[in-house]
Amino acid sequence: MSYEDTGQFEVAVGQLADPLNDPLPGRPPVVEGSPQPLGSPGPLGSPQHQGPPQSQPQGPQGPPQSHGSPWFRAEEMARPPQPEPMAPPTQAGRMPPPTQPAPIGEPAAPDLMPGPIRSPAPAHAPAPAPEPLSMPEPDETAQMPLLTDADEPGPAATLAPVPGSPGPGPAGADGGRAARRKAAARGGGHRARGRNSPSTAAASAAAGSAAEHAEQQPAVPLSRVEARRAAKAAKDSPAVVISRIVGELFISLGVVMLLFVTYQLWWTNVRAHAQANSASNNLEHQWDSGSGDPSRAAGTFSPGQGFAIMYIPKLDVKAPIAQGVSTTKVLNKGMIGHYDGAPVNTAMPWDKTGNFAVAAHRNTHGEPFRYINHLVTGDKVVVETSTTYYTYTVTSSLPTTPPTNTSVLEPVPPGSGFTKPGRYITLTTCTPEFTSTNRLIVWGKLTEERARSKGKPDALVNG
């Protein structure tokens, strides 16, 4: 008897994995007795190709043999292992004897096959047919579905494997051309996706934020040529430099002028008032103590030495009278100066005849004669000496005259209304205000002479 006559060769060959007889990837195995979907070609070795089907023995504990197909092996390995149920004990309470191996020439017992244990299908009911999967024609290329923004998975999402496609490779391995295309489609680089899609707008926003971040980063060092060009561009032009210097000069000049005006209009008055009050107090102290000499004649006082005090009740003026009209020694100290010497030597208040002429500042340095232009006929001017009060009454005035007109200081000044010698007083100051262009003149005549021992005259008491 030959080896082929026994049938062992066919059994051994049938147990081998045959790619021609195994079902295609992505198609369910053909179960005997189950209907085939219309239009679906059967696997190689099916009744359409190899004649009547051959039934495989069904074991009491598992499904038909898988013929060694890689697809069935992957399904069986993916299923969780289930514990094998124990066979029921016999009547004697003993376990059944172990299954003996099948003799050569008979198919292997199904309980020796790997995989979960399945209950045998009933003989009278055919097994349900699995749903057919749509597979592309041999001459057609499978197309992957396009992903929309709503269907696009997030960074942590994973795509489910497509039936019929190879499973994911090992971690970190390159997925090949298909994986790169999927990654390009998910990343928004596929040409099929619109350029104006929300993902493109999001990419633009991300690019804008990246640009802002780049602006915040430190600048890249420039080359030597670029640094020179930047330094040259940063330099100001000569016109800008000159205008800046001129502007700074004007600002400095304005500040200096403001300080000068403040000094002239405020600080000089403060100092002059303090000096004038000190001189008046010293004179009154001398007179009260009797240390002064009332018999001293004109010209016996040294320049700048005070000898009398003038009161103008209408203007609320009280200022000492000193010898001479020196600007620095007399006038700038807030005192009234008596014309003695050049240009004209005038009389003293106690002289029997003559013109007692004095001068003072109209602005700054105490400005005692600032408002003498307000004096009118009948106003009083009082001069106090160590022994006597001399009261003069205003008679006339000259609003303006040149500084060279010294005739106003004569014993009988022309234009004053006086026609004969007498005891007169002349007040002179600068005009207009804050200038020394011309002179303002006020004249008066003596109307009362009162000893200090008799008290103050009515002009000072009544104001």
- State the catalytic residues: 361, 430, 439
Neighbours of 321 (CB within 10 A): 25
CB 234 within 8 A of CB 227: no
Closest to 431 (Cα-Cα) out of 349, 386, 385, 367: 367
CB 348 within 8 A of CB 417: no
Query: Cis before residue 343, ω within 30 degrees of 0?
Result: yes
CB 433 within 8 A of CB 362: yes
Residue in the block written with tokens 């003293």: 348
Residue in the block written with tokens 């499978």: 142
Residues 6+ apart with CB under 8 A from 335: 275, 276, 279, 306, 319, 320, 321, 322, 360, 366, 368
280 vs 283: CA distance, rounded Å:
5
Residue in the block written with tokens 């990837």: 25
334 vs 262: CA distance, rounded Å:
17
Closest to 321 (Cα-Cα) out of 345, 341, 305: 305
Say how far residue 456 (Cα) sits from the centre of its chain. 74
Is 227 buried (19+), middle (13-18) or exposed (0-12) by CB count in 10 A? exposed
Tell me the residue type at 80. Answer: P
